[in-house]
Amino acid sequence: MEEENTPMQPESTEELHNQAPEATTAQSTAEAETTAETTAEPTPAESEATAEQTPAEPEATEEPSVDYTHLDREGLLAALQELMGEEIQAIKGRATSLRTRFNELNREVQKAAFDAFLANGGNKDDYQPLNDNVAEAFYNLYDKYRERRQQFLADLEAQKQKNLQAKQALIEELRTLIDSEEEQVRSALDKFNAIQDRWKAIGDVPRENMNDLWQNYHFQIEQFFSKLKINRELRELDQKHNLEQKITLCEKAEELIMESSITKAFKELQDLRARWKEIGPVPAEQNEEIWQRFCNAANQIDERRKEYYEQRKEELDNNLLAKQALIEKAEALAAQQPQSTKEWNDLTAAYDELLKVWKTIGPVPREVNEEIWTKFKGIIDRHYSEKKEHFSTLRDEQESNYQKKIELCLKAEAIAQREDWKKATDELLQLQQEWKQIGATSRKVSEKVWQRFRGACDTFFAKKGEFFKERRTSESENLAKKEAILAELKAHQWSDSREENLEAIKDFQRRWAEVGFVPMAQKERLQQDFRGEINRIFEQFKISAREAEETAYRERLRNVAGDAKRFVSDERHELQEKMEKLRNDLNLWENNLGFLASSKQADLLKQEFEKKMQSARGQLALLQAKLRILNETEKQAAEAQKKEQE
């Protein structure tokens, strides 16, 4: 919160300029001389009364201009604590600025507490605003400042009352001196001068008593001069001394014209004016000249002060226009709707630049100062509040996206270890599509998590490429091998032994399965030729389909690659499930047959059920045979492993 000082109204020298030169401090004992001299200049009571009818405004202590808008509440408390170490009469403006700024910030803190109270379900009618420790400390300290200032003002007023009593006592002394009939002239004059010196040494009196006091005092002076009839020579000596003192005051007033601080110059001019009043009259022929010299200097200082405050008012108005222009720019920025992080940061930089410019502009008129600062600060505060909310949401989204990408990395790394190339490739390509659908992550982890995912993909495709490179090299060799096996199968001389022929067929099937991949264009043709020749041989030797299935199944088990235990476990589970399903179907069909009545239509339906049941029994027998073969194969493998270990 910025705080500007309200300019004081300049005091012109009109009140002194309109005064006639002061009265004499000595009079001639000759009545004629007294009459002639008092005709040249007014009596002391007339001149001093004129000067005192318009009291000088109270002296104002010049304070440094301090900007507290950059401080938070703790900083304002520390500033007030430091300020309390200075003279109490010299800190009023800064203490007021600190309190105004603190009130503004404290209202914001209390509003936030009130909003939090409502957000937590509180009733606004039940809310009791409380100051926190910082506010309590600040207001307690400010109360101490006010107590000290009140005490200072009270002490000042008490001192003025003492000064009033002292000056009233001096008037009584002067009246006693006048009433005395035994005093010699020189002795009376010495006592008179002593009374004047003591009068000058006493400070200010209450303003309401000032005029009557001065009139009473100078009436007694006139009475003193009238009674003593001081001779002309003594009076001239006194006037010469007064002239020297007033020349000194004129010189000091002229020096103040060059003083850079107009406040300091005006304050010291007020002191000179007060001292001028205390000095008695000067020779009549020099009275107007010395008076005009003092007035000229005083008028120049008054004019400078007037120009200063006019210029200051113009500066305040110009500063107000400049700050209003910044508010318009801030409002234009507030209308923007940033989308990206860069746009938010650019908008923040623009607000920061406006704030820097604001701080370079001087104060504005006090009556609008808080209004425009609150408006400007409110726009900036709203921006930072919206930015905080945006980035809070963005961080949550980025964290969620990061966790999703970490999950994809784990899946990709698992796929990279597999060798079921087609399925694994499809899954990895699907992961890449999912990756593209996920939004951005934090910049500090974005590249790292991408490199991890890309590394897993590159590893898989490198392995796949190497595998198929080797596979293409051997495909032509495998083609030749299978062509040779097929030719050998067709040329084989079969025996009359059924068992020997089955073993030979098994051997051909085993050798055929052991050969690896062949070119895709030849795969279907070779497989059809081989399977057709095997089927022809089965028909030639009357080998049943079941025997062929069992033979093929044994060959399949013999050629299992990879994790044999897992294959056996999965195969057993699959066979048992199929067998269970066939048994359930047979039970259901047998039960349904019991409900069919004897009729032509029912007989046809029974025949259909019988066919299904016969086929199911055959499938069940084949599955049981396969399970038996699976168990035998597993047992043989276990025995072989045991022998190897022995």
3-class SS letters over 478-513: HHHHHHHHHHHHHHCCCCCCHHHHHHHHHHHHHHHH
- Domain co-membership, 274 together with 419: no
Total number of domains constituting the chain: 3
pLDDT in tens, 377-425: 899 899 888 888 877 887 788 788 888 888 889 988 898 888 888 888 9
Q: Are 56 and 117 in contact (CB under 8 A)?
A: no
- Domain co-membership, 309 together with 414: no
Let me know if residue 497 belongs to a domain: no
Q: Are 68 and 79 in contact (CB under 8 A)?
A: yes
Look up residue 515 and give its DSSP letter.
S
What token pair was written down for 644? 């190897």
- Domain co-membership, 298 together with 410: no
- Domain co-membership, 410 together with 282: no
- Over its C-alpha atoms, the chain yields an Rg (Å, rounded) of 58
Let me know if residue 132 belongs to a domain: yes
Longest CA pairwise span in the chain (Å): 185
Let me know if residue 642 belongs to a domain: yes
- Domain co-membership, 292 together with 405: no
Q: What was the pLDDT predicted at 560? A: 61
Q: What was the pLDDT predicted at 600? A: 64
- Domain co-membership, 154 together with 296: yes
From 435, 467, 499, give the residue that closes a domain. 467
SS3 state of residue 334: helix
- Domain co-membership, 206 together with 312: yes
- Domain co-membership, 42 together with 140: yes
Residue 39: domain span: 14-317
From 467, 490, 505, give the residue that closes a domain. 467
| Residue 96, C-beta contacts closer than 8 angstroms, at least 6 positions apart | 3
What token pair was written down for 480? 């030749």
| Residue 232, C-beta contacts closer than 8 angstroms, at least 6 positions apart | 28, 30, 33
Q: Are 370 and 104 in contact (CB under 8 A)?
A: yes
Name the stretches of the chain with pLDDT < 70: 1-62, 181-186, 227-234, 469-473, 541-552, 555-556, 558-564, 596-602, 646
Q: pTM of this prediction?
A: 0.36
Let me know if residue 46 belongs to a domain: yes
SS3 state of residue 563: coil
Look up residue 91 and give its DSSP letter.
-
Q: What was the pLDDT predicted at 348? A: 92
From 272, 302, 317, give the residue that closes a domain. 317
Let me know if residue 369 belongs to a domain: no
- Domain co-membership, 292 together with 425: no
- Domain co-membership, 428 together with 306: no
Q: What was the pLDDT predicted at 599? A: 65
- Domain co-membership, 87 together with 214: yes
pLDDT in tens, 317-350: 899 899 889 899 888 988 888 878 888 888 899 9
| Residue 569, C-beta contacts closer than 8 angstroms, at least 6 positions apart | none
Let me know if residue 123 belongs to a domain: yes
| Residue 427, C-beta contacts closer than 8 angstroms, at least 6 positions apart | 411, 415
- Domain co-membership, 439 together with 300: no
Q: Are 9 and 370 in contact (CB under 8 A)?
A: no
d(CA 625, CA 554): 10
SS3 state of residue 538: helix
Let me know if residue 5 belongs to a domain: no
Let me know if residue 489 belongs to a domain: no
